[in-house]
Amino acid sequence: MVNSTQVSYFILAAYFDPGLLKYFYFLIIMSLYVLIICSNLLLIVVICTNRSLHEPMYVFLCSLFVNELWGSTGLFPFLMVQILSDTHTVSVPFCFLQVFCIFSYVCAEFSNLTIMSYDRYVAICHPLQYNTRMTNKDIAGLIALAWSFAFVAIAALIFLIAPLQLCGNVINKVYCFNYYIVKLACSNTNINNIYGLALTFLIVFVPLALILYTYMRIVKVCLSGSKQTRQRAVSTCTPHLASLLNFSFGVCFEILTSRLETKGVSSFFQIVLSLYFLTCQPLFNSVMYGLKMSKIRIKCKSLLFGSALNRRVHQR
């Protein structure tokens, strides 16, 4: 029997030798990471430095963009190192740290999306009560709740998997994943399995149910409301709905493939799809909200091209 104290590292078995193509993959991952960092930082700076954007909807967006940076940093540097490495191993403490980063990112993402749907629900269904329901104290409390729940829930997950006795150290993934670590255990994992299922229910399905309820109420109001109400609902809810569907697809695929046999699917395709919700969502959100939200789009143009436009005006 090999216990957790004797296992000093994990082997990530999903990596394969692409030959010289590894440098091409490295450039793709690095470019994607730079785009994610720059686009999300730009939107955070725009929202924080413009008082006209200090509204609940944009504050919640800022929290979402911060989470994209958090999740991306927990994955991309690690991927770049592993792609160039010949031995795809990771130490046990770092593996647990990555599990914490990735899973807390997922939890905070769903929590932020749920808060944003509640914000739109109040704004569209109860516009007269919006200012009393969405005070600065309420906004800070909702954001603090989203982040604290994510960190505490995943910290408890790490606390449960850390003392497990392991019979192996091979993880068939390109990054550390809680479920695969638990599968290596020789000791009883009933508590881990129960907590994992309960956490999946709380992180994924409860937020989706709450968001579905808010959208049902929003649609009901829109059908009986004015054309202006419908236009406002479409303009503010479309980016949120697109973000939710994109992220939910990636997470649900990862949940299904990690628990079901997928021998009919190529390993490369499985790797790409398993990374989808961690790589595409951070860039998708920044592009989606940057293009669809007119206030953010105008402020971004002003920040990026304002000085150049001013110089042209003065030259004329």
What are 185's strand-pairing partners? 166
The stretches of the chain forming alpha helices (DSSP H) are: 21-49, 56-84, 92-125, 130-133, 136-161, 178-183, 190-200, 206-224, 227-259, 267-274, 276-292, 294-315
Tokens 């516009």 belong to: 127
Say if residues 106 and 77 touch (Cβ distance below 8 Å): no
- What DSSP designation does 264 have? T
Residue 74 within any structural domain of the chain: yes
Question: Per the structure block, which two tokens stand in for 83?
Answer: 């792609």
Instruction: Give dist(CA 83, CA 75) in Å, integer.
Output: 12
DSSP three-state, residue 66: helix
Task: Report the distance separating Cα 217 and Cα 9, nearest Å.
Answer: 50
| Parts of the chain with a pLDDT under 50 | 1-5, 309-310, 313-314, 316
pLDDT at 205: 92
Domain count across the chain:
1
CATH code of the domain in which 79 resides: 1.20.1070.10
The pLDDT, as a whole number, for residue 306 is 65
- Answer whether residue 3 is part of any domain: no
Distance CA 211, CA 110 (A): 10
Is 266 among the domain residues? yes
Q: Which domain holds residue 65?
A: 9-304
pTM given for the model? 0.89
Report the candidate in 81, 281, 107, 73 with the shortest Cα–Cα distance to residue 178. 107
Contact 44, 62 (CB under 8 A): yes
Q: What is the predicted pLDDT for the residue at 3?
A: 43
Which two tokens mark 220? 């009901």
All residues at 6 or more sequence positions from 55 whose CB lies less than 8 Å from its CB, including other chains: none
Note whether residue 276 is domain-resident. Answer: yes
pLDDT confidence of residue 258:
77
